[in-house]
Amino acid sequence: MKFDRVVRTLHVLNFRQIYAENGLLFLNVHPSLLISVNAHGKVFERILHANSVPTNRVVIEIQESVVEHENQLVDAIENYAERGYRIAIDNFGSKHSHLERLWKLSPEFVKLDTSLIKEAERNPRVRKILPRLIQLVHDIGAQPVITGIESQAGLEIAIESGSTLLQGHFLGKPVTAKELQPAEALKPLRLNKQAVA
């Protein structure tokens, strides 16, 4: 748990330096933390406030498919939400995702598993289903994020599906905080806007 907090703190420091007053910080939380802690986000909230980052600019990414205990998952998400954090369901559409959790957990973001866009590139049936899945996510009041965009074909399928939030190496490769300068931080955002237009 301590290592998880140290890593998240490091991300906050980098985020604050690079993005200052703009953008959201997406952070994964280790699944064991969700079932072993009672006041989710309380300690991290103090770290955020000490660094002038409000909780509403932090999106807690949760892999719901690896958490078996429904009540503990709901409690964890409620604790984070009460403190102002935003919630994202990560890797949705993987083998063990639970569709009913989308409306039970009320996330702000649903990050689709990378396997979905890859399968849509190969399988016309999945390509036809993807826009319906995107619409379902919109219908529950969340923003879908298509991840795993690795090619022009994947990008075109993602845009045609109706999603406006896209992620993948084709759009921009990950870099270390040291390599990323504040002026360069906006380049991936411009690319995303051009890709969606």
The pLDDT of residue 192: 37
Q: Give the mean model confidence (pLDDT) for residues 97-126.
A: 92
Average pLDDT of the chain is 83
Q: Residue 189 above 60 pLDDT?
A: no
Q: Which of 14-23, 49-58, 140-149 has the highest mean pLDDT?
A: 140-149
C-alpha–C-alpha distance, residues 1 and 36, integer Å = 9
The pLDDT of residue 129: 95
| Reported confidence tier of residue 181, pLDDT bands at 50, 70, 90 | low
State the Cα torsion 123-170-94-58 to the nearest 10°. Answer: -150
Q: Give the mean model confidence (pLDDT) for residues 104-130.
A: 95
Does CATH number 3.40.50.620 belong to domain 108-197? no
- Coil, helix or strand for 34? helix
The pLDDT of residue 32: 74
| Reported confidence tier of residue 180, pLDDT bands at 50, 70, 90 | low
Q: Can you identify the CATH homologous superfamily of domain 1-96?
A: EAL domain (3.20.20.450)
What residues does each domain of the chain span?
1-96, 108-197
Q: Is 89 left (phi over 0), alpha (psi -120 to 50) or beta?
A: beta
The pLDDT of residue 70: 78
The pLDDT of residue 1: 63
CATH topology agreement for domains 1-96 and 108-197: yes
- Give the residue with greater pLDDT, 97 vs 81: 81
pLDDT digits (tens, 9 = 90+) for 125-174: 999 999 999 999 999 999 999 999 999 999 999 999 999 999 999 998 87
pLDDT digits (tens, 9 = 90+) for 64-74: 777 777 788 88
The pLDDT of residue 191: 36
- Give the residue with greater pLDDT, 179 vs 13: 13
Beta bridge partners of 62: 89
C-alpha–C-alpha distance, residues 76 and 64, integer Å = 11
C-alpha–C-alpha distance, residues 41 and 3, integer Å = 15
The pLDDT of residue 160: 96
CB neighbour burial string for 175-190, b if at least 16 within 10 angstroms, e if fewer = eeeeebeeeebeebee
Is 163 in contact with 146 (CB distance < 8 Å)?
Answer: yes
The pLDDT of residue 115: 94
